[in-house]
Homo-oligomer: A and B are copies of this chain.
Amino acid sequence: MDFWFEFASTYSYPAAMRVSRLAQAAGVTVRWRPFLLGPIFGAQGWNDSPFNIYPVKGKYMWRDLERICAREKLPLKLPPLRFPQNGVKAARLALVGEKDGWTDRFVRGVYTANFAQQEDIADDATLATILHRIGADPDAAVPAANTPQNKERLRKQTDEAIARGIFGAPSFTAGDELFWGNDRLEEAIEWAATSSMSRPT
């Protein structure tokens, strides 16, 4: 199953914190796929988060997130430092982490910094601290994140998200089947577990 997330996305936070545990219990392998919502929202005429453009919806979202985090026993600190935060640097690093296998731990660290610790995830120092904590080397990871090839990889991943019909985060894909929202995580995993896509061939 592919887990599509954007670091600025609030509902991606509980999804990112839950996905490994639930997928493992179901025997489903997760591919972590950072992408950017900016180009997708821009194409719809939005230059900001819809939760800022439609404040009534935004107010509801924060309360809903509060209930979800309470239920999942996830720390949440509101109001956030700022919303949405710029997650481009973190997304590029998440791609780099694949080679050494620290992407999942890094992603959870960034979401925790954003939504539970009110830290600036666009700040190099914040990202370096997270990398250190998970045993990754910022002096190797940061330059690797900023190569033209890696930047292009993130752009291509966003293009693939658009091609798959993704319009928000988090999203999950299992084969051609698309699921949107933290609410659909369980259903997506069930779909992946019972579809032939996830079985060894």
Contacts and interface: CB of A to CB of B under 8 A. Distances in A.
A4 to B, nearest CB: 13
Interface stretch (A53-61, A109-117, A149-157): A53-61
A64 B183 contact: no
A31 to B, nearest CB: 20
A83 interface: no
A180 B179 CA distance: 18
Copies in the complex: 2
A60 B183 contact: no
A165 B67 contact: no
Interface in A96-119: none
A63 interface: yes
Contact of A178 (B60, B179, B184): B60
A54 B64 contact: no
A64 B180 CA distance: 9
Contacts of A168: 57
Given A44-B54, A54-B44, A60 B165 contact: yes
B59 A165 contact: yes
Given A44-B54, A167-B54, A60 B187 contact: no
A44 B58 CA distance: 13
Contacts of A165: 56, 59-60
Contact of A67 (B59, B63, B183, B187): B187
A54 B187 CA distance: 24
Q: Please provide the 3 A-B residue pairs with the shortest distance between their CB atoms, ordered closest to farther.
A: A183-B183, A56-B167, A57-B167
Given A64-B180, A181-B183, A183-B183, 7 more contacts: A44-B54, A56-B167, A57-B168, A60-B167, A60-B180, A63-B178, A64-B184
18 contacts: A44-B54, A54-B167, A56-B165, A56-B167, A57-B167, A57-B168, A59-B165, A60-B165, A60-B167, A60-B178, A60-B180, A63-B178, A64-B179, A64-B180, A64-B184, A67-B187, A181-B183, A183-B183
